[in-house]
Structure 1
């Protein structure tokens, strides 16, 4: 009989997380979260709430990485960072999806969309929720893994969720791209009042592609066994996404409400 004590111990971290890296990233995201919360409340663009929650997920997630520096055997920091950093971009995407539907209505350009305006938000946000559940389930399996087999199963589930997210976001890019091109060719009178051309962001797609490669290579692959790539293909794109989207809290993209600026302009 094999002595259980002789079996190799499953290790959560293949490296010691950087304390300065985690602290700097957490501070950056907490600052950006504060800015987004201010913009959200000031402009009452409540459909951007998922964006704010995602920013807080990033901040707390990287704080968890910093906390794990001195105790790599503690599961709590590992759970916090692996779950929140993984799921935050899904929340960013949810707000982006909702913005497209509102822009189409606000610019009175529903005829230019290849998807019915009433279904735009439902299709993409619904897909986003599915991706959230799949990746959340995969993250849960990673957390509970006691050996490489369990970890591999969690990786595969996350990989499937990431691929689905890329496909959904890819379709979203097609839908928004066609609408953007058609509206640019034949602007509506309402589109002159809204800077609709600025609401494009591809950082999430770049991040998701890198994450797919990361999990496809597996736990022993270079990307998961080294820390610096995470900051290049996850921290940096998500930070840039939050910076770019600070300008997205615009009351002019809320259609159909008389108190909004555009209705005041029409009087």
Structure 2
């Protein structure tokens, strides 16, 4: 029978016994979503969606390791794997979201409405994403070391704050683009609103999740959020599954770069629109 056991001496990796059924359910849900997104990215030839699929793979590995932790609460490796992969998966979701906005702006010839140069947009936001990834990854890997726990939490919080700042600037860039487009539509306006609003939705979900994670780690291991399992599933697992659901229902692969200029493509047709 599964029980909570100390990792070393009186130091426990877990403050509760992780639920195997919950981990398996989300493993299967993320597996189904990732397979769908991989197929969709291949069908639409949307290379910028590859990071999104990698993020789904991270979630799968994370919840697989978390399920294994139920019977191995004293083992370090499955704890570290689930912690790192579940924490870092959304960073890859964000990378694809950043790249999509640049393509959307180009698709309607609205480069002049962008808060920053479109050629630099993807590089700027993805660079911030990479910085967040490296910082969070280092911190998450150190969290299982008792004497390094406080330092590790501070590092993870720093990485999450980088992600929040970068994502906040990204959302501001999106809102400025929308306002400028409303004031001065381009000749190839197209149906950009239909693509921008789902972008807002997934952005808000990722932002809420990141803020939750900051509060979670700031409260410490003995705080309510880290000492109970349900908040992680409600404010991380469900939200990230929502991101994959929205991204799949409205798949951004319909915006494709053409050799003679970016165009918006219909979901049900391969005919390009002017």
TM over 0.5: yes
**Aligned pair in 2 of structure 1 residues 258, 110: CA closer, same or farther (>3 Å)?**
closer
**Aligned pair in 2 of structure 1 residues 231, 117: CA closer, same or farther (>3 Å)?**
same
- State the secondary structure of the residue aligned to 2:156: helix
What displacement does 1:8 show? 4.2
Counterpart-to-counterpart distance in 1, 2:272 and 2:9: 70
Contact 2:225 2:232 in 1 (8 A): yes
What displacement does 1:184 show? 2.7
Contact 2:41 2:253 in 1 (8 A): no
Asked if 1:125 is matched to 2:126, the reply is: yes
Scaled by the length of structure 2, the TM-score of the pair is: 0.88
Aligned to 1:265: 272
Q: 176, 179, 189: which one pairs with 1:178?
A: 176
Asked if 1:41 is matched to 2:48, the reply is: no
Counterpart-to-counterpart distance in 2, 1:192 and 1:118: 21
Q: Deviations over 1:46-73 (max 9, x none)?
A: 1111100101111221111111111111
Asked if 1:110 is matched to 2:108, the reply is: no
- State the secondary structure of the residue aligned to 1:191: coil
CA RMSD between the two structures:
2.0
Aligned to 1:25: 26
Counterpart-to-counterpart distance in 1, 2:254 and 2:30: 26
Aligned to 1:244: 246
What displacement does 1:95 show? 0.5
Contact 1:251 1:260 in 2 (8 A): no
Aligned to 1:162: 160
What displacement does 1:262 show? 4.9
Counterpart-to-counterpart distance in 2, 1:113 and 1:13: 46
**Aligned pair in 2 of structure 1 residues 252, 229: CA closer, same or farther (>3 Å)?**
closer
Contact 1:13 1:72 in 2 (8 A): yes
Q: Deviations over 1:53-110 (max 9, x none)?
A: 1011112211111111111112221121100000011111110000011111111001
Greater alpha carbon shift after TM alignment, 178-187 vs 220-229: 178-187
Q: 225, 231, 234: which one pairs with 1:232?
A: 234
Aligned to 2:210: 208
Greater alpha carbon shift after TM alignment, 12-21 vs 246-255: 246-255
Q: Deviations over 1:25-55 (max 9, x none)?
A: 1111001011111111100101111100101
**Aligned pair in 2 of structure 1 residues 227, 160: CA closer, same or farther (>3 Å)?**
same
Alignment gaps of 5+ in structure 1: 1-6
Contact 1:22 1:62 in 2 (8 A): yes
Paired residue total: 258
Greater alpha carbon shift after TM alignment, 8-17 vs 171-180: 8-17
Give 1 or 2: higher helix fraction.
Answer: 1
Contact 2:34 2:56 in 1 (8 A): yes
Q: Give the 5 Å matches for 1:11-160.
A: 11-143=12-144, 145=145, 147=146, 149-160=147-158
Alignment gaps of 5+ in structure 2: 1-7, 266-270
Greater alpha carbon shift after TM alignment, 256-265 vs 61-70: 256-265
